[in-house]
Amino acid sequence: MKFYQMTRAVLCCAAALVFAGGCAPKNEPVARGASGPDAQAANPNEKRYPLTGVILAVDREHRTLRVKHDEIPGFMPAMTMEFSVSVGDAANAKVGQRIRAELVTSEGGDFRLEKIWPDDEASRATMDAASRALAQDTAIRGRAAYREVGELAPAFALLDQDGRVVEAARFRGRQVMLNFIFTRCPVATMCPLAVAKFQQTQRLAAEVGVADLELVSISLDPAYDTPGVLKEYAIQRAIDTGNYSFLTGPDAAIKSLLAQFGVLTKLEGELLNHTLATLLIDENGRIIWRADGSQWEPREFVEKMRKPDEAATATRGMAGRRQSAQGGGV
């Protein structure tokens, strides 16, 4: 299988092809899938309203939440109501949690919540600060925003499939495989294949004793891919999320990460075109390998991961060098 480092020149060429004609080189496929702000609101018989409130009770069996919600201007005063939710949102919901969501009403009188996000001040402040810092870093880097193999990966703060804030610093000391996907990607050889290969890599790495691996898939479509949507996506595919995280968050943060990791996207109506990239990041946060497109094999990434015996040797070597520097070496 062909591996190559996507240089800035290659990125420029790929961008011209993707954005000019919605296509890409043969070895750099582009996915097309439903996306965009109106894709979820296509039913003319439904009405949607922004909602904020606090969860009072969770019924996961029947997939309902009882929420004490704030006033919905022009529609409903503040009150306590029961709403239907998705499997993923029911799994994530916690009593006492403050949320923001979209209330969907139908002609039949049904009420359900979609696009549920945690709405606590601490999480919001952490992600907003990280997003601003990331945007500033991307702007300062300018045309050199794309990070080559050998550079440190950027810092970020996003939400995982459980609705928890995940900062990049959490992965320091661990090896990380990272890519970008979106849950509605309909092309079998794009996001679905990328996720399946991450699952294969997860199993292979465990078989050879790589115990410090983290797999991270960041959503290209944060407007749709809420924590609950990502949770349900993982459940449906029986994904072991013990060391495999699906991340989403502020659109500005995602755009900055796409620029810095060299992934190209273009929204055409309700179609999201994008390229694929898979990166391996070492324990120090440095990008050590990259494969563009979908033509990579899990075993090849596993071969590049540090194994337990190699890690022990490296640790002893570092200790020896420190001891020598202090005058106590051989």
Alpha helices by DSSP H, the chain: 8-21, 87-92, 121-141, 191-207, 227-236, 251-261, 298-304, 308-325
Task: State the amino acid at position 257 in one-letter form.
Answer: L
| Angle (CA) 239 6 25, round 5° | 85
Q: Are 263 and 24 in contact (CB under 8 A)?
A: no
Q: Beta strands 98-105 and 157-159: pairing type?
A: unpaired
What is the DSSP annotation of 3-60? -----HHHHHHHHHHHHHHS---TTS--B--B-STTSS---TT-EEEEEEEEEEEEET
In angstroms, rounded to a whole number, what is the distance separating the alpha carbons of residues 112 and 105? 7
Q: How many CB atoms lie within 10 A of CB 34?
A: 17
Phi-psi region of 49 (alpha: psi -120 to 50; beta: other; left: phi over 0): beta
Task: Flag whether 23 is marked binding.
Answer: no
| Paired strand residues for 66 | 57, 82
Task: Flag whether 13 is marked binding.
Answer: no
Q: How many CB atoms lie within 10 A of CB 7?
A: 13
Where is the binding site, in residues? 185, 191, 274
Residues annotated in the binding site for Cu cation, as ranges?
Answer: 185, 191, 274
